[in-house]
Amino acid sequence: MAYRFQRDLEDSSLDSYLQSATAPPFHATDYLSIVARFRAGNAVDNHTLVTLRLTDTNTKQNLYLLRACGGLSGDPIRFAAFYEGTEYYVQSTAAFSANTWHTVIATANNTDRKLNISLDGGTFVTQTIAKLPNGTPWFVQISGLVYYRAISGSMAELALYNCDLSASAYADDVASLVKGFSPARVRPPNLIAYWPLVRGLQDVRGGCTLAAYNNPDVVEHCRVIS
C-alpha cells in the first residue's frame, strides 16, 4: 500500500493529506535529512510532498517544505526552509517525471547553514542560506492543503534522520536508499522517524502516528527492499 492524494477542485481545505498530532524531534540536532518516495500524477502542478512545521514565532510561519514543482521551469524538487515567513530554498537540477516513482533526499545543516537536495541519487545540489526555521517541532504533514496544495499523486515512504546524508561519509547509505532499501535498514541509529506507509500510518521509529484527512486512497506501493 501507498497513499494517493487528490486536490479538491472547489476548496483547497478539502485536499487529502496525512498529519501527525505530534512531531518527532527533527530540530534536536544541527542536522536533518528527509527521505521521501513519491509519484506525481502530472508535471504541471506544484505538488506538496512533506511539511515539517514548527511552532510560529512572532506570529510568522516556520517550516520545512518539500515540493515537486511542476509549475516551475525545469520541473525541479524544491526544498525550502522558512524562517519567520521568509523562504530559503535549494532546487534539484534534475526534473521529476509524471507517473514515475522518485526518491528525493533533502538535508538541512545548521552547522554550515546549507540546504542540499538530490533526486534519485544524483549529485547533491547545495545552497548556502542565512537562517533555518525557528521554534519547536509541531507536526508532520504528508501531502498538503490550503496554500500548499496536495500532491496529485502518491506518497510511499517518508523517513527523517538526524544526520546530514549529503556528507560524503554517507554516500553508501544514500546509494542504498536510492536502490530501494528500506530506511529501517539504513543508519538506524540516526533514524528519528519512519513512516513505511505499507500497513497503516504508524511511525515505526518515533511513534508519531499519522491520521488521514479527506480520504486519501490506498494504492499499490513502490518496490522496497526490506
Contact residues: another protein, CB under 8 A: 7-15, 46, 82, 85-88, 113, 127-131, 145-149
Minimum Å gap between C-beta 1 and another protein is: 27
| Residue closer to another protein, measured from CB, 72 or 201 | 72
CA angle 158, 39, 179 (to 5 degrees): 60
Which residue's C-alpha cell is 510532498? 49
| Residue closer to another protein, measured from CB, 11 or 217 | 11
Minimum Å gap between C-beta 143 and another protein is: 14
Minimum Å gap between C-beta 206 and another protein is: 27
Minimum Å gap between C-beta 102 and another protein is: 22
| Residue closer to another protein, measured from CB, 97 or 214 | 214
| Residue closer to another protein, measured from CB, 21 or 146 | 146
| Residue closer to another protein, measured from CB, 88 or 195 | 88
CA angle 78, 81, 82 (to 5 degrees): 120
Residues 6+ apart with CB under 8 A from 69: 46, 47, 75, 76, 77, 78, 91
Q: Which amino acid is at 194?
A: Y
Minimum Å gap between C-beta 115 and another protein is: 11
Query: If DSSP codes are grouped into helix, strand and coil, which group holds residue 34?
Result: strand
The 10 Å CB-count burial string (b at 16+, else e) for 37-68 is bbbbbebebbbbbbbbbbeeeeeebbbbbbbb
